[in-house]
Amino acid sequence: MSKVIIIGAGGVGNVVAKKCAREPKVFSEILLASRTKSKCDAIEKEIGNNRLQTARVDADRVAELVDLFYNYKPDLVINAALPYQDLTIMEACLKCKAHYLDTANYEPKNEAKFEYKWQWDYNERFKNAGIMALLGCGFDPGVTGVYTAYALKHHFDEIHYLDIIDCNGGDHGKPFATNFNPEINIREITQKGKFWQSGTWHEIPPMSIHRPIDYPNIGIRESYLLYHEELESLVKNIPAIKRARFWMTFGEAYIHHLQVLQNVGMTSIEPIDYDGREIVPLQFLKAVLPEPSDLGENYSGETSIGCQIRGVKEDRVRNYYIWNNCKHQDAWKDVNGQGVSYTTGVPAMLGAKMMLTDKWMKPGVYNVEEFDPDPFMNEIGNYGLPWNEIVNGRLAFDDYDE
Ligand code: NDP
């Protein structure tokens, strides 16, 4: 029996709220709070049965958060808002002694840069306060870290090569839209790519390395090497990894739109003067693009996200591939959301359940791969994200030095 506050009522917040509401034994009381209260109320109305309370909060303001937390007294706060709010929410959790969970690591608004350092620096303070923070518990980051920990526990003595491969083989029918918050999404894609090899990071120009990858039930899709945050924690927590990369698919139309928007300056985060008012072009672009939470109804096709791993077991080289495919229409049927919000929100709910049922609970700041993967892997299929694995069989692509 626990009280939880969910912050953010967008695509992911909708999924987290609905999934938590169906688990009254774990999440006995739920408050959904966001910047726009009407969005929380709309979700509350869909769920019904007085399962949710709602509130307005500006999560950029620690004082507002502290007021809310003092009044409600949550055991755990789930951050389904934006990475910009990670530190303010963590500060408020410290003041009110509430556990914390998020799905994306902190980035400052005025610099397109994300890294775990800012949040890992809270470790001692969380330990001393006797509370826990679980970072990056969506799908990627999130399930991809649990998959890697599961692979290490059950199939390898050492992991040497890790490729996280993420395909959205869906079609939302819009000329251009992003599957999660447009501002965060475009900042992620337009920054330099980066991968880990032989003990160091290698930077590449944005989207400059790409290759075809064969995704289960979807087929071959061109996939681009990006920097993604779970690479940072995984190479730290699993030091035997020699090479770690992240690949994501983009269609030609998406890349073409993005190039045009970049060329005309619409993806810039440098403020400009417009008609006597300062605006940030990327924030303006976000305002005219579809909301991630509005893409679900006519979304067809499916996502496929997984980890392709090579390492050694009892001195023999082993290949391993583990993945989930999620149909956008199944997500729509379950929670009136789309597949990318669903694959993020379901693991966030389950991570929160792991914490509140003491399966994953110790004071401090952690990434998912630092916990026993088994209880999470045993349950994730029941909540709509079943997984598949192949040992020494089909590979999505072959690119190994040994
Ligand atoms: P949306 O833009 O759909 O939703 C964001 C929500 O946060 C909105 O309800 C927004 O309010 C709210 N919000 C923004 N700023 C504040 C603030 N200052 N105070 C209170 N609420 C605020 O984004 P998504 O739901 O698609 O994404 C949510 C998060 O999930 C992002 O951090 C994203 O990076 C992460 N994510 C993680 C993935 C993973 O696999 N790990 C994959 C996909 C997303 P308003 O409605 O007023 O704008």
Per-residue pLDDT at 1 exceeds 90: no
Whether residue 189 is predicted with pLDDT greater than 90 in this model: the reply is no
Residue 196 contacts residue 244 (beta carbons within 8 Å): yes
58 CA closest ligand 1 atom index: 19
Mean of the pLDDT values across residues 59-83? Answer: 98
% residues pLDDT > 70 (the chain)? 100
CA of 344 to the centre of ligand 1 (A): 11
In this prediction, residues 18-36 reach a mean pLDDT of 98
Tokens at 220, concatenated? 């071959």
Give the residue ranges of DSSP H helices in 22-85. Answer: 37-47, 62-72
Q: In ligand 1, which atom is closest to the CA atom of 59?
A: 19
Shared fold status for 2-135 and 143-336+382-391: no
Q: Which pLDDT score, from 0 to 100, does residue 187 have?
A: 86
pTM of the model: 0.97
Is pLDDT at 357 greater than 70 in this prediction? yes
User: Minimal CA–CA distance to 2: which of 62, 70, 57, 77?
Assistant: 77
Instruction: Render pLDDT for 282-339 as a digit per residue (tens, 0 to 9).
Output: 999 999 999 988 898 899 999 999 999 999 999 999 999 999 999 999 999 999 999 9
Q: How confident is the model at residue 208 (pLDDT cuts 50, 70, 90)?
A: very high
Q: Which of 6, 12, 58, 368 gets mutated to test ligand 1 (max ligand atoms within 8 A of its CB)?
A: 12
Q: Where are the domains of the chain?
A: 2-135, 143-336+382-391
Pocket of ligand 1 (CB under 6 A): 7-13, 34-36, 39, 57-60, 80-83, 85, 103-104, 138-142, 180-181, 184, 291-293, 340-341, 344
The model's pLDDT over 221-271, given as tens digits with 9 standing for 90+, comes to 999 999 999 999 999 999 999 999 999 999 889 999 999 999 999 999 999
**Per-residue pLDDT tens over the stretch 7-16:** 999 999 999 9
Protein fold of 2-135: Rossmann fold (3.40.50)
Tens digit of pLDDT for each residue in 58-69? 999 999 999 999
Q: Measure 158 CA to ligand 1 centroid, in angstroms.
A: 36
Nearest CA to ligand 1 atom 3: 10
Closest C-alpha to 383, from 340, 332, 347, 337 = 347
The atom number, within ligand 1, closest to the CA of 139 reads: 40
Q: Which CATH number fits domain 143-336+382-391: 3.40.50.1400, 3.30.360.10, 1.20.140.10, 3.40.50.261?
A: 3.30.360.10
Residue 402 has a pLDDT of 67
